[in-house]
Amino acid sequence: MIRPTAGRGNAGTLHFPDVSDLADPLLEVEDLVTSFRTTRGTVHAVDRVSLTVNRGQTLGVVGESGSGKTVLSRSIMGLLPARDVLRSGTVRFAGHDLTAMEPAQLRQVWGAQLSMIFQDPMTALNPVVRIGRQITESLRLHLKMDRKEATATAIELLRSVGIPSPEQRIRSYPFQLSGGMRQRVMIAIALACAPRLVLADEPTTGLDVTVQAQILDLLAAMQQERHMAVILVTHDLGVVAKRADDIAVMYAGRIVERAPTRTLFAHTRMPYTRALMDSIPRLSDPSGTRLRAIGGRPPDLIHPPTGCRFSPRCPYVQDKCREADPPLRTAGSPDHLFACWFPLVDGVPSGPSGSGQPVTLTTNGAPNNAVEAPAS
Partner 1 sequence: MTGPAATPGTNAGSAAEAPVMLEVEHLVVEFRSGKERVQAVSDISFEVRTGETLGLVGESGCGKTTTGRALVQVQPATSGSVRFQGQDLGRLSKRELRKTRTRIQMIFQDPISSLNPRRRIRDIVAEPLAIWGTGSAEERAAQVRSMLESVGIDPDTAGDRRPQEFSGGQCQRISIARALMAKPSMLICDEPVSALDVSVQAQILNLLADLKAAFGLTMVFIAHDLAVVKNVSDRVAVMYLGKLVELADSDDLYRSPAHPYTEALMASIPEPDPEHVSTHEPLTGELPSPLNPPSGCRFRTRCPYVQDRCASEEPPLREVSPGHQVACHFPLRQLSPVPERPAATTV
Residues binding ligand SF4 (CB under 6 A): 270-272, 308, 310-311, 314, 316-318, 321, 326, 340-342, 349
- Report CA-CA distances (Å) from 26 to 11, 98, 196, 265: 22, 12, 8, 25
Stretch that binds ligand ADP, among 3-11, 35-43, 99-107, 286-294 (CB under 6 A): 35-43
Contacts of 180 (CB under 8 A, 6+ apart): 207, 211, 214, 215
Q: In the range 281-310, which residues lie near ligand ADP by CB under 6 A? A: 301
Residue 45 interaction partner, one of Mg ion, partner 1, ligand ADP, none, beta carbon < 5-8 Å per kind: ligand ADP
Taking CB under 6 A as the criterion, the residue among 70, 108, 138, 153 binding ligand ADP is 70
Q: Residue 43 Cβ, how far from ligand ADP at the closest point, in Å?
A: 4
SS3 of residue 120 by DSSP: coil
DSSP 267: T
SS3 of residue 21 by DSSP: helix
For ligand ADP, the nearest residue by Cβ is 70
Stretch that binds ligand ADP, among 65-73, 95-103, 158-166, 270-278 (CB under 6 A): 65-73
Rounded CA separation 41/37 (Å): 6
Taking CB under 6 A as the criterion, the residue among 36, 93, 110, 310 binding ligand ADP is 36
Rounded CA separation 44/129 (Å): 36
Q: Residue 313 Cβ, how far from ligand SF4 at the closest point, in Å?
A: 8
Helix count (H) and strand count (E) of the chain? 12, 16
Q: Find residue 110's DSSP bridge partners.
A: 114
Nearer to ligand SF4, 153 or 318 (CB): 318
φ/ψ region of 67 (left if φ > 0, alpha if ψ in -120 to 50, else beta) reads alpha
Question: Does 70 sit near Mg ion (CB under 5 A)?
Answer: yes
Residue 326 interaction partner, one of ligand SF4, partner 1, ligand ADP, none, beta carbon < 5-8 Å per kind: ligand SF4
Q: In the range 285-314, which residues lie near partner 1 by CB under 8 A? A: 285-295, 297
Q: Residue 168: what residue type?
A: Q
Question: Does 123 sit near ligand ADP (CB under 6 A)?
Answer: no
Rounded CA separation 353/338 (Å): 18
Q: In what order do the strands lie in the sheet with 360-363?
A: 114-117, 197-201, 229-234, 58-62, 246-251, 254-260, 333-338, 329-331, 360-363, 368-370
Stretch that binds partner 1, among 134-142, 230-238, 348-356, 359-367 (CB under 8 A): 230-238
Residue 206 interaction partner, one of ligand SF4, partner 1, ligand ADP, none, beta carbon < 5-8 Å per kind: partner 1
Nearer to partner 1, 178 or 369 (CB): 178
Q: Find residue 34's DSSP bridge partners.
A: 46, 87
Q: Residue 222 Cβ, how far from partner 1 at the closest point, in Å?
A: 16
Q: Residue 271 Cβ, how far from partner 1 at the closest point, in Å?
A: 13
Taking CB under 6 A as the criterion, the residue among 51, 71, 229, 371 binding ligand ADP is 71
